[in-house]
Amino acid sequence: VKSLLRSYRIGDALVRISGEVTLDDVEDSIFESTVYKPAVIIANKLDSKEAKNNLKHLKSYLNQGIPIVPISCENKLGLKNVGKVLFDTLDLIRIYTKEPGNRQYSSRPFTLQRGKTVADLAKNIHTDFKRNFAFAKVWSKRLKFSPQKVGLNFELDDGDVVEIHVN
């Protein structure tokens, strides 16, 4: 199976085979409509006696480049890392919004895929925001001057604050 996968240049995959199958079955399954989804392993019980050994065994068993986040729900260890690892693995960013004339921005961000633009955010808020868009102001750590007046095609980054103005 390994050499078959290598022949198709598949070197970083977790393959599970249930029951008896032939190499032809494996090959057929490769060409079915495959959807690759990112994965994260949350390894609980970090507080147990065998935690170190179990974690070492898990890492050596998988060795697939899948992020492993060791946690202990009981002792609240590692829980703060879960969100960051999930956002990084899923390539998500948080965008905060504020209303024009309001100093404070919303404490509840919109969650978008990395690479999304002001147009995507405007559409997420309401389709009329995109349709009647005039301009947006963006506050961002990466900008030389904040706020900066931007258009629909401005690419957003994690932590940006956006104020959308409509006609």
Domain boundaries, the chain: 2-31, 41-90, 92-166
What pLDDT is attached to residue 82? 94
What pLDDT is attached to residue 34? 66
What pLDDT is attached to residue 60? 81
Enter the tokens of residue 148.
């900066």
What pLDDT is attached to residue 33? 63
What pLDDT is attached to residue 115? 96
What pLDDT is attached to residue 128? 92
Give strand pairing partners of 113.
92
Provide the CATH topology of domain 92-166: Ubiquitin-like (UB roll) (3.10.20)
Tell me the three state secondary structure of residue 131.
helix
Helices (H), the chain: 2-7, 23-31, 51-62, 79-90, 118-125, 127-131
Task: Identify the segments of the chain with pLDDT beneath 50.
Answer: none
Rounded to whole angstroms, the Cα distance separating 134 from 118 reads 12
Enter the tokens of residue 74.
């009981």
